[in-house]
Amino acid sequence: MILDFSPSPNFYACSTKVFLQNEIHVTRRYKRSVLILMLGGVLRFMEDGKEITLEKGEYYIQRQGLFQEGVPLDDPPIYFYIEFYGHYSDGENGLALRGSFSPEKLSAITEGLEAIFKEHKANFFLLNSYMCRIFSELLEGVPTLNEKTNTARLIKNFISSRYYSQTKISDISKKFGYAEDYVIRIFKEIYGITPHKYLTNIRLEHARWLLENTDKTADEIAVSIGYNDFSTFFRAFKNAYGVSPSNIRRANQKQGV
């Protein structure tokens, strides 16, 4: 789903929103679309039953007519928003509903738009032109498929080189400078599975090789591939292969007789 620019979106209103402590996103089914440009903190809300989490440097378009519900927040968000009327399609020539941007690069445009809107110094065409400049900047910042593939490959290599450690999605996020949701989304888009699932797969593949080719105990193997809790390793292994680690070893020993 993309924001289509034919016909062009129409500006309605804009402002900077600073959440107070314990404030949450309003619960509503809104009649206009809303572009959110995250400037700080973390925004969370439910949209038609799906949780959306946004961090600094991410943008998101709330389409008109969807049901949004606020959830508790730990780090009050700050964002710039634009309300507008827009049209959407499943085509390719438009703006993705979610992505990343540079707050510093857009600050002059957003501050200028907010100033002329609040001071009532602009007509509809000028307000629309400011909004379209913002959409244009967002379009330029959307990574191409090649850029996504390269980023996903770097993440994959990072996971592969650290499979034996307690690697978390937050570690990957810090390493590459992307929000956690974006890391998961881009990896799944390219490889069809989440980073966590990929990490589990390579751990278990290595565990199976060790069971079949070494005398290490299952407990030693679990620790060597990053599992501090044997029961977690046991469940993951059995879910993946349908048998326990000891059964794999016994079957391999029988084949070698």
Domain that holds residue 215: 144-257
Q: Say if residue 132 is in the same domain as residue 26.
A: yes
Q: Say if residue 36 is in the same domain as residue 135.
A: yes
Residue 198, H or E segment? helix 195-213
Where a domain ends, among 93, 118, 141?
Answer: 141
Q: Say if residue 257's pLDDT is above 60.
A: no
Query: Please, is 47 exposed, middle or buried when counting C-beta atoms within 10 Å of its C-beta (0-12, 13-18, 19+)?
Result: middle
Query: Please, is 25 exposed, middle or buried when counting C-beta atoms within 10 Å of its C-beta (0-12, 13-18, 19+)?
Result: buried
The single residue listed with the structure tokens 């402590």 is 21
Q: Say if residue 156 is in the same domain as residue 126.
A: no
Q: Say if residue 70 is in the same domain as residue 135.
A: yes
Whether the pTM exceeds 0.75: the reply is no
- Quote the CA–CA distance of 60 and 49 in Å, as a whole number: 16
Where a domain ends, among 141, 168, 197?
Answer: 141
User: In CATH, what number is assigned to the domain containing residue 226?
Assistant: 1.10.10.60
Exposure b/e, 225-237, CB count within 10 A at least 16 = b:
bbbeeeeebbebb
Q: Say if residue 8 is in the same domain as residue 129.
A: yes
Q: Say if residue 125 is in the same domain as residue 163.
A: no
Q: State pLDDT tens for residues 163-206.
A: 888 889 998 988 877 778 888 988 999 999 999 999 999 999 99
Q: State pLDDT tens for residues 54-85.
A: 889 999 999 999 999 988 888 899 999 999 99
* Residue 137 falls in which region: left (phi positive, over 0), alpha (psi -120 to 50) or beta: alpha
Q: Say if residue 76 is in the same domain as residue 63.
A: yes
Determine the pLDDT at residue 180: 85
- Count structural domains, the chain: 2
Q: What 8-state DSSP symbol labels residue 151?
A: H
- Are 8 and 84 in contact, with CB atoms under 8 Å apart? no
Where a domain ends, among 96, 117, 141?
Answer: 141
Q: What are phi and psi of 234, to 5 degrees?
A: -60, -45
Q: Say if residue 144's pLDDT is above 70.
A: no
User: In CATH, what number is assigned to the domain containing residue 24?
Assistant: 2.60.120.10
Q: Say if residue 99 is in the same domain as residue 209.
A: no
Sign of CA dihedral 2, 176, 136, 86: positive
List the one residue out of 14, 35, 16 whose CA is nearest residue 78.
16
Q: Say if residue 165 is in the same domain as residue 87.
A: no
